[in-house]
Amino acid sequence: MKVRFLNIATATVLATGLVSTLAPNAMAQPGNPAVCQDNIFGGLFEECRQVSGGPAGNDNATRIAALFEKEVVSDYKVNASSGSTEFFTITSTGEGVGTLDLLDPALANKTFAFVIKGGNGYAAYMFNGISQLSNLSWSTGGPGLSHATLYVFDTPTTPGTQVPEPVTLLGLVALGGMMVGQKAISRKS
C-alpha cells in the first residue's frame, strides 16, 4: 500500500513538473494588470489611476465616473489591440506598447479619460485638454492591450458676464444724463 501511494505521488509530482516545463502558460496566473506609466502620452495627462483584479478588472462609464468623480457623457471603445473609432486610432507596435492619434480637434479643449486595459486591470489617464493630438506613445506596463476606451466628461460651464441689451445701455446713458443735468440746475440755484 505504501509503495502504491509513493508511486502515485511521484507520478503526480513528475507530471506537474513536466506540464509546467513544457507549457508554462498552462500553469500561469492571469497576467499582470496594466499600470500607470509616467513617460507616456508625452506627459500631457493630469493624473492616472489604476484598477486591477476581481470584478473591477474591466472599465465602464460608471466605474470611470466614480474613479475621477466626473460625469461621463460619452465613450468610444476599440475592443482590440489596434483599431479606430471616429475619435481615436490606436495602434499596437509591440507587446503592450504603441501609438495613439486623437482625431477630434475639440478634444484639445475637453476633459476626458483614456483607458488602457491589459491583463486583469486597467490604467485610466485623465486629460484636461491636450495640445498634441497625434503620435502619442502608450504602454500598458507589461501585458498586451486588451482594449482601449475614450471617456469624455461633462465639462461644467462657467457662468459668464452678462452683457446688457443695447436698449438698457441707452436707458442708463439717458438716466446718467438726466442726473448730470439735475445737478447742474441745482448748482445754479
Q: What is the pLDDT of residues 130-175, one digit of tens each?
A: 989 999 999 999 899 999 999 999 865 544 445 555 566 556 566 6
CA distances from 22 to 9, 11, 26, 168 (A): 20, 16, 9, 85
C-alpha cell at 63: 466605474
Q: Max Cα separation, the chain?
A: 132
Place of cell 474591466: 58
Residue type, 35: V
CA distances from 1 to 6, 7, 12 (A): 9, 10, 17
Q: What is the pLDDT of residues 25-53, one digit of tens each?
A: 333 335 689 999 999 999 999 999 999 87
Beta-bridge mates of residue 147 = 117
CA 58 distance to own-chain centroid: 13
Q: What is the pLDDT of residues 66-115, one digit of tens each?
A: 999 999 999 999 999 999 999 999 999 999 999 999 999 999 999 999 99
- Report the distance separating Cα 148 and Cα 59, nearest Å: 9
Residue 186 has pLDDT above 50, yes or no: yes
